[in-house]
Amino acid sequence: MSYRVEQVLVPLDLSEFSRAALEFARGLRLGKKRPLIQVAHAVPPLAPHLRRVLFPYAPLGEDDREFEAELVEASRVELYDRFGLDDDDLHLLSDPWIEPGEPRVLITDWVRRVDADLIAIGAFGTTGAFPGGLGSTTQRLLRTTSRPVAVLRDFDPNPRVRKILVAVDLSDQTPEVLRIAASLALQTDAELDLIHVIPSPWLHDTRSLVKRALKTSHADLSKSLKSTVDAHFERALENLELPFADEENASTLLSHLSVDIGDPAGLVTERAYQEGHDLIVVGTSSNHRSHGSLGRIAHRILVTAPTHVLAVPPARTKTPLVEAEET
């Protein structure tokens, strides 16, 4: 099954991180085609106490609704001016959606309405970046969506995906992560590197108790686990679903898996920094649910990555009831 980025949803606030998301979507070159972009912006509702002060004599809310319409129109003017939404090179799917409401609520509806193949969103909002976390809307989206999400950081006026690093955890989600990464690399003509990091048993061994008990080294442990890692990787490749026309090229891209031992998130982000990758691809699922439906290692990569990250959720599955509702 092919993964093609034909429609991209870009939720915008007025931050530079949103500018980075929009330019990333605009800069995607998928062979000879470029994706259609749907821009959306939420105008936060007035707090109840502000409504009472501004409209004390409007029990039916007429003034309230007029003022809300004015805010939406003012937001439209600001968005067009700030982001150049009237640029013919932008390839908009339709006019920007500018709607009153909470961003974290509206974004779920936007995803459903546009049937996006990819969501491009800034890592942070208008409050700016902060260490060890992500913007609240981005965090909520990552925990709830079933669509791949590109989390963008620094603004690049001429962005391009040239080199992709895939964090391979060898879980049941690995074939889906490889499918998305290989398809994107083929569409953008990007290099693809794969890395699997075995969590070091000595990672949190501050008293050297494990080290004294195991009596082994990183090299010996890596050698003893090589056949197991290779078998799991081969099984993931066997379960990979790609169009027949892409299989040969994808096989070349996925021919080598680099294996290391240590801190998985730390080694992935370190390699991305040292080798200049434009994008890290990581699956979001995990057996550890300390971050809701966002895996612990995926969360750490997302908050510490030196570059953009494409977060891939588990493959969507449909029950007969859901399929019946969609027809």
Domain boundary among the residues 104, 127, 160 is at 160
Residue range of the domain that includes 107: 1-160
The verdict on 17 and 152 lying in the same domain is yes
DSSP 99-154: EES-HHHHHHHHHHHHT-SEEEEESS-TT---TT---HHHHHHHHH-SS-EEEE-S
What digits encode the pLDDT tens for the residues 12-62? Answer: 998 999 999 999 998 887 767 888 999 999 998 777 676 666 666 555 455
Least confident of 204-208, 243-247, 285-289: 285-289
Same domain, 203 and 240: yes
In the predicted structure, residue 320 carries a pLDDT above the cut 70? no
Query: What pLDDT sits at residue 61?
Result: 53
pLDDT for res 34 = 84
Would you say 205 and 199 are in contact if contact means Cβ atoms under 8 Å apart?
A: no
pLDDT tens digits, one per residue of 103-120:
888 998 998 898 899 999
Is 220 found in the same domain as 155?
no
Based on the fold, state whether residues 206 and 82 are members of the same structural domain. no
